[in-house]
Amino acid sequence: MTTEFTHDLPLGSTLTAHEHIGFELGWDYAHHGLTPPAPYDQEPSSLRHGLLAGQAAFGTRTLLATRHVRKWLQLRLHAWLRGRSVELVQVTPNHLQQIEVSHCPITRVALSTATLESSDASVDRVRNDAGYAAGNLAVMSTKANHAKAAHGFRDALRFVRDMEAANSAGEGGLTVAQWARVAVLCSFVEPLSHEEASALPMLVLPPNRLRLFNPIQALQAFVGRQLLTEGWSQRIARFEVLLPGKPARRAFQMFFHALLPRVLEAGRTDEPQRARWAVEDAWRNPLVMKRWTAFARLVTPAQCEAVLARAAARHLGTQRFTQIATAQATEGWNLESRGYVPHAVLMRRASTPPRQASLPL
């Protein structure tokens, strides 16, 4: 036998989308036996209303509050306080666990947790005009997140050029090299022309679960990741066969023969993070970029996608990747409201409650 608890408002009452989200958040805090940090646990709000309703419904019969659950609730609270949207179908505690990293991709410092230092890990919306949604999230240090702020690809690229022209050591707390990594990271989620995307070095390998909007960069990342695991020589040889035509294959061989020595110069290492940095740093070499650009001009975006699909079918990838239709790539991103919760009034009807909790007796 089960008892069904439904949190609902009286028939005919209304609330905004923001209030609805706050109520759901408070309910989830209670569901995991947690309370929001002060003062939000006591201030009158839809969040507190949801918390009290959840506590009455669940009592002591709560779910396990893992570290990633706490991070998930913290992220949602932070977003709610700023009116930012969070897509909750895919952005789950498990998703946050999947995108977790040991080092900041921008500053390369080891990440800490809850120390209140600039090295603490934080979840960044890579594209600032989108909400917290799958494909738009990356973990980085608080320092890098604060410096990046609302800046996107064009801003970061301008900072790099201005600092190089002025021979400046840094801007906004980040060095030239670090801003260059910000620019590349942001470029992944910005639809660029094939020519512009082809001219960008892969100074940061894409974080896990990030969506790449430019096919040539997806191909670039696929090749770079090959060097992170054993057996790359055989995989690259099989990959070359998939390229369209002899000129493209020859150009790719010349590029790879320029990339490989720069990676090997960093020395062999069993540390995955240092191996990753060696691949990223190899792209700083002018010859590597010259030959990569020459190769990229011989393939089209459609050909890049086709090659990646064939490579996946032959299990040549070192990581699983999925090609997503353009129309689906930004689902839940709320681009139309620039990542904010749309201003809307919702009608809560008793016949269609938003959530139910069934607890065994």
pLDDT score of 354: 45
Per the domain annotation, does 60 fall within a domain? yes
Residues paired with residue 16 on neighbouring β-strands, in sequence order: 345
| pLDDT bracket for residue 342 (50, 70, 90) | confident
- Is residue 320 predicted with pLDDT exceeding 80? no
pLDDT score of 71: 97
265 shares a domain with 247? yes
d(CA 91, CA 136): 10
186 shares a domain with 103? yes
234 shares a domain with 276? yes
89 shares a domain with 79? no
Per the domain annotation, does 39 fall within a domain? yes
187 shares a domain with 121? yes
> 190 vs 35, 67, 120, 284, CA distance in Å?
37, 31, 27, 21
- Is residue 349 predicted with pLDDT exceeding 50? no
90 shares a domain with 72? no
pLDDT score of 345: 60
- Domain coverage including residue 4: 1-83+341-361
239 shares a domain with 169? no
145 shares a domain with 59? no
Lowest mean pLDDT among 88-102, 123-137, 294-308, 340-354: 340-354
Lowest mean pLDDT among 94-98, 222-226, 321-325: 321-325
Per the domain annotation, does 262 fall within a domain? yes
Average pLDDT over the chain, rounded to whole?
91
Mean pLDDT over residues 81-87, rounded?
97
- Is residue 234 predicted with pLDDT exceeding 50? yes
187 shares a domain with 93? yes
245 shares a domain with 157? no
d(CA 310, CA 136): 26
End-to-end CA distance of the chain: 6
Mean pLDDT over residues 280-298, rounded?
98
225 shares a domain with 177? no
Per the domain annotation, does 223 fall within a domain? yes
pLDDT digits (tens, 9 = 90+) for 190-218: 999 999 999 999 999 999 999 999 999 99
pLDDT score of 321: 76
Say how many domains are in the chain: 3
pLDDT score of 250: 98
- Per residue, what are the HEC states of the chain? CEEEEECCCCCCCEEEHHHHHHHHHHHHHHHCCCCCCCCCCCCCCHHHHHHHHHHHHHCCCCCCCCHHHHHHHHHHHHHHHHCECECCCCCCHHHHHHCCCCECCCCCCECECCCCCCCEEEEEECCCCCCECCCCEEEEEHHHHHHHCCCCHHHHHHHHHHHHHHCCCEECCEEHHHHHHHHHHHHCCCCCCHHHHHCCCCCCCCCCCCCCCCHHHHHHHHHHHHCCCCCHHHHHHHHHCCCCCHHHHHHHHHHHHHHHHHHHHCCCCCCHHHHHHHHHHHCCCHHHHHHHHHHHCCCCHHHHHHHHHHHHHCCCCCCCCCCCCHHHHCCCCCHHHCCECCCCEEECCCCCCCCEEEEEC
Mean pLDDT over residues 311-326, rounded?
84
pLDDT score of 344: 65
Per the domain annotation, does 305 fall within a domain? yes
Lowest mean pLDDT among 44-53, 188-197, 233-242, 340-349: 340-349
Mean pLDDT over residues 349-361, rounded?
38
Residues paired with residue 171 on neighbouring β-strands, in sequence order: 174
Per the domain annotation, does 310 fall within a domain? yes
107 shares a domain with 27? no
Per the domain annotation, does 207 fall within a domain? no
Per the domain annotation, does 336 fall within a domain? no
pLDDT score of 322: 79
